[in-house]
Amino acid sequence: MTDPTPPARRRLTITGRLNALRAGVLGANDGIVSVAAVTVGVAGATTDMFAIVAAGVAAIVGGAISMALGEYVSVSSQRDSERAEIDREKKELTADPEGELAELAANYEARGLTPDTARKVAEELTAKDALAAHLALELRIDADDIVNPWQAAITSALTFLAGAMVPFLAILTPEDIRIPLSFAVVLVALAVTGAAGARLGGSPMLRPTMRVVVGGALALGATFLLGTLLGTTGIA
């Protein structure tokens, strides 16, 4: 069955979904790295399971709230900007419809269409939905698919929580294996999120994956070393 959605709007929808998926992958990656750094650092300073669990829970809750709040503020600003652009375009279409038609035709002509064809395309799109035509071509906005800050905040928090559970569960294992197991599990999880992010972005997977894994390894190594030093010196 043929998809009745116009190609321009369909591309905007697909792009929006890919961006949401990439944001989800990044949220999971943040959850893995930040919680792993805290739990491994505390485990380096002490073997007290209560202290390790308390630090892990605090990192999970605080990180999820922080991610949700940051995403809500960011997406709210984007939504306000998109709504302002839509209102501006509506006013321009009302005040000067012929000028807006000429502008749309000029945009298509600049993309390689002949003047006659560009004018014809602009007229047909304007007759169907002038606002949608201008928003899609000039601003890459779909008026029916404005970003939702609450959805972004909840998604960010949930993906962070999903990633955070990987190091948190690993650190709950017996004392003699918890550190090496945490390192191994976290690095594997980071490799998965790095590869997934690269795949969604359409880039080769090796270099982005290595960046994520090396960065995570450095974070774990630094916090474990610091925790061990604090535990050895008796500060912690």
pTM score, whole prediction: 0.76
Look at residues 91, 89, 90, 118 and name the one whose alpha carbon lies nearest to residue 102: 118
Question: What are the tokens at 73?
Answer: 């503020």
Instruction: Give the pLDDT of the chain (236 residues) as one tens digit per residue.
Output: 444 444 545 454 444 555 566 667 788 899 999 999 999 999 999 999 999 999 999 999 999 999 999 989 988 998 898 889 889 988 999 999 899 999 999 989 888 889 899 999 999 989 998 888 888 888 777 776 677 888 888 888 999 999 999 999 999 999 899 999 999 999 999 999 888 877 877 778 888 889 989 999 999 999 999 999 988 776 65
Domain boundaries, the chain: 7-233
pLDDT of res. 136: 83
pLDDT per residue over 4-28, tens digit each?
444 545 454 444 555 566 667 788 8
- The length of the chain in residues reads 236
Record the tokens describing residue 159, joined without a space. 């993906």
Q: How far apart are the C-alpha atoms of 228 and 77, rounded to whole Å?
A: 42
Summarised one tens digit per residue, pLDDT across range 147-187 is 788 888 888 899 999 999 999 999 999 989 999 999 999 99
Q: For tokens 């792993």, name the residue.
A: 36
Exposure b/e, 73-108, CB count within 10 A at least 16 = b: ebbbeeeeebeebbeebeeebeeeeeebbeebbebb
Distance CA(219)–CA(211), nearest Å, equals: 12
